């Protein structure tokens, strides 16, 4: 793997950094306090090309590579994880999955709008009773003529109240328990009998629209099914494997922001007659953050490189997601420590970084689930 970025990738990184510094970072603390990112950011993300970055050009995307995608998600994550998540879900989990599994009609119908930001996507897998054991989901889709009628509920859905389309997973064959009886659907979010309720009181990602969805007999045409009947779990897992790369990249952004904040504060704050950067134990905290940033970034770039070369990448994606998410929590916590008492108030960024980082070890597969996936790949034995 060549660690030198191409000119195009450097340009994408510059663009993402300038966009984040202009449109995201200055507002992140206010959005966090207000519990809502300014929705105008969606159109801006579409206009700059980030919502269609890796979608083929013929469907309105930029046809970019995954390393470029990792660079963009890192920069956005450095500014505000709530904004980074909008892109990771709408592009990474929804648009990319429509591009990979969709019929020509589904691609023409949804992709140009998702890429431009005219429409936003959300990913409806988790339910109130099923998270890690997603294959046990109970939402039902019953065939009635040339339609399916869907009933059930979904929990913790990122972009949930903002989205125009839900990539929804439901059981089409109740006689087949587990992953084989599940199918995927593209459900318009304004469908009658679909209600959405925002989840409040989150520890972090407070600006992000996280929702609970209730489906009470939502009727969609049979043509709304994404991928073959009974293959919905494969659709979900293919989306999440790539999604883990963008979560990892977002975590690199958090860790980098933690490093920036810790270095800046350590250079200014004086104790015992000199800047605290002169104290060796403060340098140790900063060195630990720095190592986490580098290691997490390298693991993330390896996944992007494997995807771009068409090589298997699932275990490497779990490895990067596991390491980078735990590293982001450590880095943010270390940065808070460097700030002393001031790290504990929201005038400084370390507290928000820590709160936002904390969910990264939970969603898109908890750290325990990533370890089981890596363990299964190494031993050939499934512990599920």
Report the interface residues with ligand FAD, using CB under 6 A: 89, 122-126, 131-132, 156-158, 202, 205, 210, 359, 362-364, 366, 368-369, 372
Smallest distance from the beta carbon of 372 to ligand FAD, in angstroms? 6
- C-beta closer to ligand FAD: residue 67 or 317: 317
- C-beta closer to ligand FAD: residue 176 or 368: 368
User: CA-to-CA distance for 351 and 209, rounded, in angstroms?
Assistant: 20
Smallest distance from the beta carbon of 331 to ligand FAD, in angstroms? 19
Please answer whether residues 162 and 120 qualify as being in contact, where contact means their C-beta atoms are separated by less than 8 angstroms. Answer: yes
- C-beta closer to ligand FAD: residue 66 or 244: 244
The residue from 23, 74, 212, 364 that is catalytic is 364
| Residue from 218, 221, 337, 322 nearest 276 by CA | 337
Cβ-proximal residue to ligand FAD, closest one: 131
Task: Name the DSSP letter for residue 23.
Answer: I
- C-beta closer to ligand FAD: residue 9 or 130: 130
Report the sign of the C-alpha dihedral through residues 236, 32, 163, 108, in that order. negative
Smallest distance from the beta carbon of 379 to ligand FAD, in angstroms? 15
Rounded to a whole number of angstroms, the distance between the first and last alpha carbons of the chain is 33
**Which residues lie below 8 Å from residue 309, measured CB to CB, with a gap of 6+?**
none
How many C-alpha atoms does 95 have within 13 Å on its Cβ side? 36
| β-strand partners of 197 | 212
Smallest distance from the beta carbon of 243 to ligand FAD, in angstroms? 9
Per the annotation, the verdict on 364 as an active-site residue is yes
- C-beta closer to ligand FAD: residue 103 or 195: 195
User: CA-to-CA distance for 7 and 383, rounded, in angstroms?
Assistant: 44
Smallest distance from the beta carbon of 343 to ligand FAD, in angstroms? 23
| β-strand partners of 130 | 127
Residues carrying an active site annotation: 364
């Amino acid at each position: 793997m060549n660690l030198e970025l191409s000119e195009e990738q450097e340009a994408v990184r510059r663009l993402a950094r300038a966009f984040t510094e202009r449109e995201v970072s200055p507002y992140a603390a206010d959005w966090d306090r207000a519990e809502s990112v300014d929705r105008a950011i969606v159109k801006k993300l579409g206009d700059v090309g980030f919502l269609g970055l890796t979608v083929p050009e013929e469907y309105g995307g930029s046809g970019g590579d995954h390393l470029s995608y990792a660079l963009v998600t890192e920069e956005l994550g450095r500014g505000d994880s709530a904004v980074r998540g909008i892109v990771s879900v709408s592009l990474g989990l929804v648009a990319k999955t429509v591009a990979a599994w969709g019929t020509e009609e589904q691609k023409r119908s949804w992709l140009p709008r998702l890429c431009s930001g005219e429409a936003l996507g959300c990913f409806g897998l988790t339910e109130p009773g099923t998270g890690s054991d997603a294959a046990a989901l109970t939402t039902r889709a019953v065939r009635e003529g040339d339609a399916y009628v869907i009933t059930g509920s979904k929990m913790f859905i990122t972009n949930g109240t903002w989205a125009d389309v839900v990539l929804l997973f439901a059981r089409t064959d109740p006689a087949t328990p587990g992953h084989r009886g599940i199918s995927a659907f593209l459900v318009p979010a304004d469908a009658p009998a679909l209600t959405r309720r925002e989840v409040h009181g989150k520890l972090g990602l407070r600006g992000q629209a996280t929702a609970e969805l209730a489906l009470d007999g939502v009727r969609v045409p049979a043509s709304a099914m994404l991928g073959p009947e009974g293959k919905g779990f494969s659709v979900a897992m293919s989306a999440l494997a790539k999604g883990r790369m963008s979560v990892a990249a977002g975590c690199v952004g958090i860790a980098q922001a933690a490093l920036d904040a810790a270095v800046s504060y350590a250079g200014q704050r004086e104790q015992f007659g000199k800047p605290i950067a002169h104290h060796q134990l403060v340098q140790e905290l900063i060195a630990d953050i720095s190592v986490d940033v580098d290691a997490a970034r390298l693991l993330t770039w390896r996944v992007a490189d494997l995807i771009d070369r068409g090589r298997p990448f699932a275990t490497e994606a779990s490895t990067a997601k596991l390491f980078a998410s735990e590293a982001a929590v450590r880095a943010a916590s270390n940065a808070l420590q460097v700030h002393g008492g001031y790290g504990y108030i929201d005038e400084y960024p370390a507290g928000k970084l820590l709160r936002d980082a904390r969910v990264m070890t939970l969603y898109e597969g908890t750290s325990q689930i990533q370890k089981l996936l890596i363990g299964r790949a190494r031993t050939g034995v499934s512990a599920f």
